[in-house]
A and B are shown apart, each in its own frame.
Chain A
Amino acid sequence: MESVTPIKLAIYDTFAKTAKAPTVAEIAAKLKLPVVDVQSAFDELHQQRLLVPEPGDATRIRMAPPFSGIGTPFRVTVRGKIYFAPCAWDAYGIAAALHKDVVIDTKDGHTGEPMKLEVKKGKPVPLPYVVHIAVPAAKWWEDIIYT
């Protein structure tokens, strides 16, 4: 495989257009490439920290930040389309990646109380909320799903 770039772009394009995570087989079919080459590219993109495979199934994507392949407490609505993000950083990241305004429905990490974030006219609506990361930066990727 010469480059993982076409596969990276296909993954992100699929997420952006469908709000769903593509599988190795789906990307192989879309790009007319051998499944084994696409799997190698998925593995390489994991090494580059651009995607995280589903635990126990490397043919599926748990997340390709800022997009999540599964439902999460960060639901991001963009012109009626619903995406999920792994965390608050990535929820805003969907707005940044798509260059769109978004509404983020989420909840307080301790109380579970519903909360809403918004990006309007390219800027976050000011709110007094805070983000707390339990794991220091140097260790984020030791278990990125937990982080």
Chain B
Amino acid sequence: MLLFRSEETVEKWCATHQLPKRPLINIDQIWALANEWYANRLTVESRRPKPNEMAKIFERIGLTESFWDPKSDKF
């Protein structure tokens, strides 16, 4: 997982490493993910979301491609 200044540098990185370009995440989305995962991480009830919960989180913040299916491995 890497941060890039622009989509252009993502494409150059993918070409350099001969890896497919995946769906991009913008700053608002990564902030939303950070809060969903970690806002209560220092508390008694904290835990990692389960796959069905992850799927709902991804859908809620607009990450809807099959890439985000936590149960899929067809890539």
Contact = CB atoms under 8 A, between A and B. Distances in A.
B38 A110 contact: no
A74 B69 CA distance: 26
A89 B37 contact: yes
Given A65-B37, A92-B31, A113-B5, A136 B75 contact: yes
A55 interface: no
Contacts of B41: 12, 65-66, 93, 96-97
Contact of B9 (A49, A87, A110): A110
Q: Chain B interface: which size bin?
A: 35 or more
B46 A8 contact: yes
A16 B75 CA distance: 37
B1 A130 contact: no
19 contacts: A65-B38, A88-B3, A89-B30, A91-B34, A96-B35, A96-B41, A109-B10, A115-B3, A119-B31, A129-B3, A130-B4, A130-B6, A130-B24, A131-B26, A132-B1, A133-B1, A134-B19, A137-B54, A139-B75
